[in-house]
């Protein structure tokens, strides 16, 4: 990619209490929480290389030329990734910090940390909305009315940077019961997961989703192969590798279902009704579950899809 950036100058283009993004000795760098990373790119492949002070390097595929990034941010401009996500300077720093030590990762996986950030912003807007006018008069918007964005579980799952599973905690809307209530929770999650702000990023039709109830034992069962064929497999075996164990899986579910699993009601859904699942159909797998926790009167929507 051609750009006018002067690689010889020393400059800081962004800095806050957590991050410093700049260039020195003709190399872009990021300092994140005291750890310094050198940022480089491959001249023939769209990879961003993140190298720490011990020379451990992570490759982020389909990412950015760091010189282009510095040039844009120095002009006060934003950048856009191949996924369509728009970045401010702090967003880029967060993505790089999240991707460091993954070894080899696609840009959409490295961006997961930004998705959680977006959810918190939506939650804050929703809380402000409640303070300013009568919520009962607001048109139905399931992404802000029923999804739970603040819960200790999110802090726990964010520690697992290799995780590919999308989790949504959804309040019981009490508009229906049984399968219908599960479908409604799935719809709420889709209204958020399949959109970036107001822009739809995956096509879907929840009306074509076919669900059937399964037992709790089936839900937590071991996969037959090391892939995303079921919930446990999707968590333990991301296609780009990781260091996750059954102990990790048990731990995150203890936080997700703090009152145990005896009062769970589980539905498994088909995965032929959204473009979100297309990548997983190529090889690794696609999953979609809704789990009603009777003790907390809330649903957990669990989806995953990935390719190599």
Helix (H) or strand (E) holding 235: helix 231-236
Model pLDDT, residue 109:
78
What is the length of the chain? 308
Are residues 94 and 128 located together in one domain of the fold? Answer: no
Listed residues 110, 130, 148: the one ending a domain: 110
CA distance 142 to 126: 11
Q: Is the pLDDT assigned to residue 1 strictly greater than 80? A: no
User: Is it the case that residue 71 has pLDDT exceeding 50?
Assistant: yes
- Asked if residue 1 belongs to a domain, the reply is no
Give the model confidence (pLDDT) of 287-296 as tens digits.
999 999 999 9
Kind plus residue range of the DSSP H or E element containing 96: helix 89-99
Q: What's the pTM?
A: 0.60
Structure tokens at 5: 């950036």
77, 110, 143 - which closes a domain = 110
pLDDT band, residue 25 (cuts 50/70/90): very high
User: How would DSSP label each residue in 120-173?
Assistant: HHHHHHHHHHHHHS-GGGSPP-HHHHTEE---HHHHHHTT-TT---EEEEEE--
Q: Establish if 47 belongs to a structural domain.
A: yes
> Does residue 193 sit in the same domain as residue 45?
no
* pLDDT for 307 beyond 80: no
pLDDT confidence of 2, banded at 50, 70, 90? low
Query: Is position 135 within any domain?
Result: yes
Q: Are residues 72 and 157 in the same domain?
A: no
| Residue 241 covered by a domain | yes
**CA distance from start to end of the chain:** 26
Distance CA 119, CA 38 (A): 30
Q: Is residue 44 part of a domain?
A: yes
Q: Last residue of some domain: 110, 132, 150? A: 110
Residue 4 resides in a domain: no
Binned at pLDDT 50, 70 and 90, residue 308 comes out as low
pLDDT at 122: 40
Domain that holds residue 87: 11-110
Q: Are both 65 and 132 inside the same structural domain?
A: no
Q: How would you label 207-246 residue by residue, b for 16+ Cβ within 10 Å and e otherwise?
A: eebebeeeeeeebbeebeeebbbbbbbbbbbbbbebebee
Q: Using pLDDT thresholds of 50, 70 and 90, give the confidence band for residue 73.
A: very high
Same domain assignment for residues 270 and 148 = yes
Residue 39 has pLDDT above 50, yes or no: yes
Residue 121 binned pLDDT confidence (cut-offs 50, 70, 90)? very low
Q: Same domain for 144 and 264?
A: yes
Does residue 176 sit in the same domain as residue 296? Answer: yes
DSSP, res 207: G
Average pLDDT, stretch 2-18?
85
Alpha-carbon gap, residue 93 to 103, rounded angstroms = 17
pLDDT band, residue 268 (cuts 50/70/90): very high
pLDDT > 90? residue 139:
no
Burial of 2 (0-12, 13-18, 19+ CB in 10 A): exposed
For residue 150, pLDDT beyond 80: yes
Per-residue model confidence as pLDDT tens digits over 162-197: 788 999 999 998 888 899 999 999 999 998 888 877
Strand partners, 269: 211
Q: Decide if pLDDT at 112 tops 90.
A: no
Task: Give me the CATH number covering residue 177.
Answer: 3.40.1000.50
Both 170 and 257 in one domain: the answer is: yes
Mean pLDDT score, 32-48:
87
Q: Which residues contact 47 (CB under 8 A, 6 or more apart)?
A: 41, 59, 60, 61, 62, 63
167 vs 158, higher pLDDT = 167
**Residue 106 and residue 155 in one domain:** no
Structural domains in the chain (count) = 2
């Amino acid at each position: 990619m051609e750009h006018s950036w002067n690689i010889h100058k020393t400059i800081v283009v962004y800095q806050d209490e957590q991050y410093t993004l700049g260039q020195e000795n003709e190399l872009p760098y990021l300092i994140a929480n005291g750890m310094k990373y050198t940022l480089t790119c491959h001249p023939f492949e769209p990879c961003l290389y993140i190298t720490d002070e011990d020379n451990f390097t992570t490759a982020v595929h389909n990412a950015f030329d760091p010189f282009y990034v510095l040039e844009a941010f120095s002009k006060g401009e934003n950048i856009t990734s191949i996924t369509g996500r728009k970045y401010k300077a702090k967003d880029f720093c967060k993505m790089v910090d999240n991707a460091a030590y993954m070894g080899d990762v696609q840009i959409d996986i490295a961006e997961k940390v930004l998705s959680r950030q977006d959810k918190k912003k939506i939650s804050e807007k929703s809380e402000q909305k409640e303070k300013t006018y009568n919520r009962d008069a607001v048109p139905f918007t399931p992404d802000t009315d029923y999804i739970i964005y603040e819960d200790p579980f999110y802090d726990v799952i964010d520690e697992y940077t290799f995780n590919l599973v999308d989790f949504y905690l959804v309040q019981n809307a009490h508009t229906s019961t049984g399968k219908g209530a599960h479908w409604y929770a799935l719809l709420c999650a889709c209204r958020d997961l399949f959109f970036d702000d107001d822009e739809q990023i995956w096509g879907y039709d929840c009306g074509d989703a076919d669900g059937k109830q399964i037992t709790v034992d089936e839900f937590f069962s071991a996969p037959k192969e090391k892939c995303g064929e079921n919930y446990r497999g999707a968590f333990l075996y991301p296609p780009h590798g990781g260091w996750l164990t059954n102990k990790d899986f048990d731990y995150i579910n203890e936080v997700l279902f703090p009152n145990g699993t005896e009062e769970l009601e589980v539905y498994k859904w088909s995965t032929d009704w959204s473009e979100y699942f297309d990548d997983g159909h190529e090889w690794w797998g696609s999953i979609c579950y809704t789990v009603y926790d009777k003790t907390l009167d809330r649903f957990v929507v669990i989806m995953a899809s990935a390719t190599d």
